[in-house]
A and B are shown apart, each in its own frame.
Chain A
Amino acid sequence: MDSIQFYPAGDSTVVVQFGGTINEATSRRIARFAENLRQARVKGVGELIPTFCTLSVQYNPRVIGYQKLVKQLHRLLPHEDDGAAAAKTIHIIPVCYGGEFGKDLPFVARHAGLSEQEVIHHHTGRDYLIYMLGFLPGFSYLGGMDERLFTPRLETPRTKIPAGSVGIGGEQTGIYPLDSPGGWQLIGRTPLRPYDPDRDPAILYQAGEYIRFVPVTPEEYRALEAEIKAGTYAHRVVKED
């Protein structure tokens, strides 16, 4: 296990670094550390921001100083990952692959030497850990994609990608939470709204949870879209060990 380091990020943030490799054990450890910290209610501690290998801890220097806080954080560090993971929270994301929703599916298939059906099969065949959210609200950095699907980004990024688009960028896959420019290969789209400012919480999922893509037909996509618009759709979340 990599060693844990503490760094200041200015006058009111401590960065706790859990080694330098992206993996699920590190991610679980960071999530547990954040949980410990929330439960301990350390005076002066504010926002916690988890990333691949760090937890950023914001604090109020009028209440607690850097050195004293680092000592407290030390005490709250979780033990090395013992493999006894808690139940996974898995978000079911219906996706219509290919066609108008996933214009780059043919390219991804050609690049992988697979049929479009095989790409869909490999993409939906596993659960993806949400390592962190960032870059855009709700933009999820997902780990664990099938190596056969690794595809380079577009040479020229698109200026507008519709919200809900599911793409592949290099070794990563993910969902665009809102209309934005982007350079990922688009393989499908979900009718779900990963980001909805009028919903609480505005973002459907959080770091440490999982995403499972489920293929739907264009007809099912339209039906789901109508349900979501009408407010009758219930987002599916399952718990599995």
Chain B
Amino acid sequence: MGLFILNPGILTTVQDAGRFGHQAAGFSVSGPMDADALYTANILVNNPPDLACLEMTFLGVTAVFDRKTWFAVTGADMSPTLNGKPIPSYEAHEAKAGDKLVLGPAKNGKYTYLAVAGGIDVPVVMDSRSTNLKCGIGGFSGRKLAAGDDLPLYVTGRFLDNHYKKHLPSQSEIGPAPDGASRSIFLRVVPGPQAHFFTEQGLREFETEAYTLLPESDRMGARLSGKPVEAKAGVDIISDAIALGSVQIPASGTPIIMLADRQTTGGYAKIGTVVSSDIPKLAQSLPGTEVRFRFVTVEEANRLYQQHQKYLKKLARKTGFCPNKW
């Protein structure tokens, strides 16, 4: 059928850019934890940047291709080998029918992405191919991959083959993976929507204290330990919507940063929201990483967003004709 899974790793799911447009009905966005790595994997094989890839957590898959195609591996380094021969990440590779791809444990982060030319061709459910594990929809039968799964691939044509040989960028053009194993990260945070729930001291300490990323962190959120953030009078709010990167302060006072599988609404005060371009490095950070916050204005955050999008577009242009296609 396409890509046959011999070993599924620990938590491997199909994810595209995410399931947008259904949050008002209570559907989580899902999508990649490291959106930059998914984007890069796709453009490396000349896909539109939001096509469905495999997202692997901590440990990669062992899989066999049933056809000639192209693929790329990005995100945390899982020491990929093709038929036993080491191959670089962040580079497009040709696979022939019967070729075996083996991905090992993640060395410098948590999440690794495998893009295949044309994308993983699972059915679109409510406008997305992303797996929503809680509802059991999207992705491959709404679940994480298991040994023996046979993933449908989009059929690639001869035309692509010629194009690929000419145009695919090399690793040096795209640049290496961000280092998820760094011991300390800085996250930029826009204050609000409930920053006013916290005391001046609480807000000040939120910026000056160092927090530690806990192992309980998952696709739903990054949990931190550290000095509790002081609230004026409780942190319960009338439930409202939760944006990507929302920094919730529950009754314990220690922050939880809401990520891809976050629930759509919640009842804890949110001191601020991490800017979207800082989410990938948080997602890739290992437990024990020191996390520091710095407030930025919303105007600065808008500017950072634009800058980041420009950077991604620039990467995409290196693939030749791709940006004109979308």
Bound CA–CA A138/B26 (angstroms)? 6
- Comparing A48-56, A108-116, A148-156, the segment that makes contact with chain B is A48-56
A139 CA to B22 CA, complexed, in Å: 13
B24 touches A49 (CB 8 A): yes
Q: Within 8 Å CB of B302, what residues of A?
A: 11, 61, 65-66
Instruction: Give the contacting residue for B241; candidates A54, A66, A138; CB below 8 A.
Output: A54
A-B contacts, 9 listed (Cβ < 8 Å): A8-B191, A8-B301, A10-B243, A10-B273, A47-B20, A52-B240, A53-B240, A201-B25, A202-B27
Contacts of A15 in B (CB 8 A): 192-193, 240-241
Interface segment out of the listed B9-17, B73-81, B262-270, B282-290: B262-270
Tell me the nearest residue of chain A to B272, going by C-beta.
A10
Shortest CB distance B73–A (Å): 29
- Establish whether residues B273 and A20, one from each chain, have CB atoms under 8 Å apart when the complex forms: no
What chain A residues lie within 8 Å of B190 (beta carbons)? 8-11
Q: Does B23 touch A at the CB level, under 8 Å?
A: yes
Taking CB atoms, residues of chain B closer than 8 Å to A53 are 238, 240
Determine the chain B residues whose CB is within 8 A of the CB of A61 once the complex forms: 301-302, 305-306
Indicate the member of B23, B245, B246 with the most A CB atoms within 10 Å.
Answer: B23
CB distance B240 to A56 under 8 Å?
yes
Known interface pairs A9-B192, A134-B265; A52-B239 also in contact (CB < 8 Å): yes
B24's nearest neighbour on chain A, judged by CB, is A49
Additional pairs, 12, CB under 8 Å, beyond known A49-B24, A134-B241: A8-B301, A9-B193, A10-B245, A47-B24, A51-B265, A66-B302, A133-B25, A134-B239, A137-B22, A202-B22, A203-B25, A203-B26
CB distance from A172 to the nearest CB of B (A): 11
Asked whether, in the complex, the Cβ of A135 is within 8 Å of the Cβ of B263, the reply is yes
Question: Nearest-CB distance from A48 to chain B (Å)?
Answer: 7
A217 in the interface (beta carbon within 8 A)? no
* Cα distance A22–B301 in the bound complex, in angstroms: 31
User: How many chain-A residues does the 8 Å CB contact rule pick out?
Assistant: 45
A13 CB–B CB distance under 8 Å: yes
Q: In the complex where A61-B302, A135-B265 touch, is A50 in contact with B24 (Cβ < 8 A)? A: yes
* Interchain CB contact under 8 A, A51 and B135: no
Q: Does B203 contact A (CB under 8 A)?
A: no
**The one of B192, B241, B304 that contacts A8, using a Cβ cutoff of 8 Å:** B192
Task: Name the CB-closest residue of A to B142.
Answer: A197
CB proximity of A22 to chain B, nearest CB, Å: 6
A99-154 interface (Cβ within 8 A of B): 132-139, 141
Contacts between the two chains (Cβ within 8 Å), count: 140
Q: Is the CB of A136 within 8 A of B23?
A: no
* Cβ-closest 7 pairs across A and B: A134-B265, A10-B273, A7-B193, A11-B301, A56-B241, A8-B298, A7-B192
Instruction: Judge whether B270 and A197 touch: CB under 8 Å.
Output: no
Contacts of B244 in A (CB 8 A): 10
Give bound CA distance, A8 to B305, whole Å.
14
Contacting pair B298 A66 (CB below 8 A): yes
B275 at the interface (CB under 8 A from A): yes
Q: Which B residues are within 8 Å of any A CB, using their own CB?
A: 20-27, 125-126, 134-135, 137, 190-194, 238-241, 243-246, 263-265, 270, 272-276, 298-299, 301-302, 304-306, 309
Asked if A175 CB lies within 8 Å of chain B CBs, one says no
Residue of B nearest to A69 (CB): B302
- Does chain B have a CB within 8 A of A89? no
Q: How far is the CA of A160 from the CA of B273 in the complex (A)?
A: 33
Contact in complex: B27, A9 (CB < 8 Å): no
Q: Are A51 and B137 in contact (CB under 8 A)?
A: no
CB contact under 8 A between A202 and B25, given known A51-B240, A132-B265, A197-B135: yes
Using A138-B26, A202-B126 as known contacts, say yes or no to A11 and B275 having CB atoms under 8 A apart: yes
A236 at the interface (CB under 8 A from B): no
| A11-B276, A13-B273, A46-B20 known; A52+B238 contact, CB < 8 A | yes
- CB of B140, distance to nearest CB on chain A (Å): 15
Q: Chain B residues near A56: list those with CB within 8 A.
A: 240-241, 243
Taken together as a complex, chains A and B put the C-alpha atoms of A141 and B238 apart, in Å, by: 12
Most buried by B among A9, A15, A54, A201: A9
Contact B27 A137 (CB under 8 A): yes
Residue pair B239, A141 in contact (C-beta under 8 Å): yes
Chain B residues, CB < 8 A from A202: 22, 25, 27, 126
Whether B265 pairs with A10 at a CB distance below 8 angstroms is no
Residue of A62, A135, A207 touching B306 (CB-CB under 8 A)? A62
| A137 and B309 form a contact (CB under 8 A) | no
> Nearest chain A CB to B154's CB is how many angstroms away?
23
B263 CB contact (under 8 Å) in A10, A48, A67, A134: A134
**Interfacial chain A residues near B263, Cβ < 8 Å:** 134-136
| B275 x A49 contact (CB < 8 A) | no
- Determine whether the beta carbon of B264 is less than 8 Å from that of A17: no
Question: In the bound complex, do residue A62 and residue B25 qualify as a contact, i.e. CB atoms below 8 Å apart?
Answer: no
Known contacts A7-B193, A53-B240: A135-B26 contact under CB 8 Å: yes
